[in-house]
Structure 1
Amino acid sequence: MIEIDTAVDLTHPADLVWRALTDRELVARWFTEVEAVAGARGRLLVCTAGLAGFDAAVDAEVTERREPELLALRCDEAGRRTRLTCTLTSTTEGCRLVVREVLEHGTWPADQRDRREQYYDQALTGRLPAILDWLAFQQVDLRRGDPAVTAQLPVTELIDDEPAPAGRSRGPLLIAVLAGAVLAAGLAVWAVLPAEPDPAAGTDPAPLPAPTAATATTRLPRAALPVRPKPSAGSGSARPSRTPTAKPSGATASLPPAAGVLTARYATVSTRIFGYTGEVVVDNAGSAAANDWSVVVTLSEGGTIAGASGADWRQDGQTVTFTGAPVPAGGSETFTFDVRDGDPLTKAPESCTLGAAPCAAP
């Protein structure tokens, strides 16, 4: 039996995660658009066509629902039938979410299954936690106190609705504690959510983050990315690729292609506060397939790869080395990668090279 099994530990309670799993507007912001099928209770159309590992939209039917513990669906993707379950278990830190999809009818090529699992992993470990942080931050109401006293946070109302006993003043201490918690939560939310709309446009001061699919593509300038010297091999920890591959040594981190044959193009295809998704296209203008290639991306300080699709990768400090399938003559190979970055202004790597040549803008 072929199955996909992905688990993630979340620092939020199960009821909040359940809301992110069942609210169609929220699902669209961390996974994909979902539409209700008119006249069919419990039937949904999941707009997965074009996503990594999916062939078409999925016709799903809810078969079991136990809030906030279990959500089960029977899925039909152009004749391929699967059973998808989302299980929530409370933990001391928050809860554990397990997403399992089992193939019941049809075929599932190994490479497609791997790409599908990678998409689930990226959504569950990157975008879902961002939405949960945003929802938790929205529950902190900073406007519930006396409007005239804007500097004082409504501490007692957030803890309970009864006034403190006379003669006991605990406001200053609790205010300081809550203020620190709110600031920390705010920074955590900013780390991964998409950029907020311009306040001058007259929108609500705390709108829902825009869906990833609708995020405007950010392109690098036409000039090639600058090449920055790579840090030493001991400057950071290595992150293995999902599929084990031979790891190049520090002296041969990039394999120069034959002159005039391989070139690479880089673009930032989506952004969020403290993060972005990059795309690299490797083109082969030669008359023979290029079996060995290596793209080296240098992230800004503190940046980490959250996942990649279409290539194997290995991170050493700020340097990430990508390798992938052979590039056919006259063809190309494309891979994408998600970056978590500590700088809200960073929306692209410091450099991208294929061999000794910098990646060009598209």
Structure 2
Amino acid sequence: MARSIRKRVHYPHPPERVWEALTSRESLAAWLMPNDFAPRVGHRFNFRTDPAPGFDGVVHCEVLELETPRRMVWSWRGGQIDTRVTFTLAPVAGGTELLFEQTGFEGVPAILTSFILQGGFGKMFDERLPAVLDRLARGDDVATACERERAGLGALVETITARVAARFRKERER
């Protein structure tokens, strides 16, 4: 049994700006997590966040495919999951359509984690990424804004961590 996460979002920004928000280390940190990303096939990088039960707080990734400014694929490994993340951009009237897919959630712990991640990704793609895109459009310094927003991300991570821990406890009791 495997599960995937899919999220399709429209942004009123050109594909090049959305691509910048997906491939700039500073922009990624502002809407996702602190990282050492570089947009280069074969580049191994990490996202860092607070640890949780069964998760040391580090997501190990590698850029597998890069088709500027249309498509990017990463491996995504951390805790109980070993998945693949794909971002696909398409120009549409009035902006860009982003399709996010994370595939390969297999086994009960990974599937439970996928539901938690799906909730967090909703906030990130519906609120945090649009805020980064708006700052890029204004020419604001995303890195400075990122520092201010990390406190807000910490609260989100704490919520996700608590939910994951509760689901793992419930699963173990069965």
TM norm structure 1:
0.38
Partner of 1:93: 94
Distance 1:45 1:109 in 2: 19
Moved over 6 A (4+): 308-311
Partner of 2:44: 43
Aligned-residue RMSD, C-alpha: 3.3
Distance 2:110 2:12 in 1: 34
- 1:62 and 2:63 equivalent? yes
Give the C-alpha shift of residue 46 in structure 1.
1.2
In structure 2, the CA distance between the partners of 1:11 and 1:48, relative to structure 1 (3 Å rule), is: same
Partner of 2:31: 30
What code does the residue aligned with 1:43 have? R
Distance 2:29 2:116 in 1: 20
Partner of 2:119: 118
In structure 2, the CA distance between the partners of 1:82 and 1:111, relative to structure 1 (3 Å rule), is: closer
Q: Percent identity?
A: 25
Where do 5+ consecutive residues of structure 2 fail to align?
167-174
Give the C-alpha shift of residue 28 in structure 1.
0.5
Whether the 8 Å CA contact 1:42–1:62 is kept in 2: the answer is yes
Give the C-alpha shift of residue 27 in structure 1.
0.6
Highest relative contact order (Cα 8 Å, sep 6+), 1 or 2?
A: 2
What code does the residue aligned with 2:98 have? L
What code does the residue aligned with 2:18 have? V
Q: Which whole-Å deviations, capped at 9, do the CAs of 1:121-167 have from their partners, x for residues lacking one? A: 100110100111111122xxxxxxxxxxxxxxxxxxxxxxxxxxxxx
Partner of 1:213: 150
What code does the residue aligned with 1:210 have? C
Whether the 8 Å CA contact 1:80–1:107 is kept in 2: the answer is no
**Larger-Rg structure:** 1
Give the C-alpha shift of residue 69 in structure 1.
0.6
Q: Which one has a larger percent helix, Structure 1 or Structure 2?
A: 2
Partner of 1:71: 72
Distance 1:309 1:79 in 2: 13
In structure 2, the CA distance between the partners of 1:23 and 1:207, relative to structure 1 (3 Å rule), is: closer
Distance 2:125 2:162 in 1: 18
Where do 5+ consecutive residues of structure 1 fail to align?
139-205, 218-268, 270-276, 281-307, 312-324, 326-362
TM norm structure 2:
0.74
Partner of 1:133: 134
Matched residues, number: 155
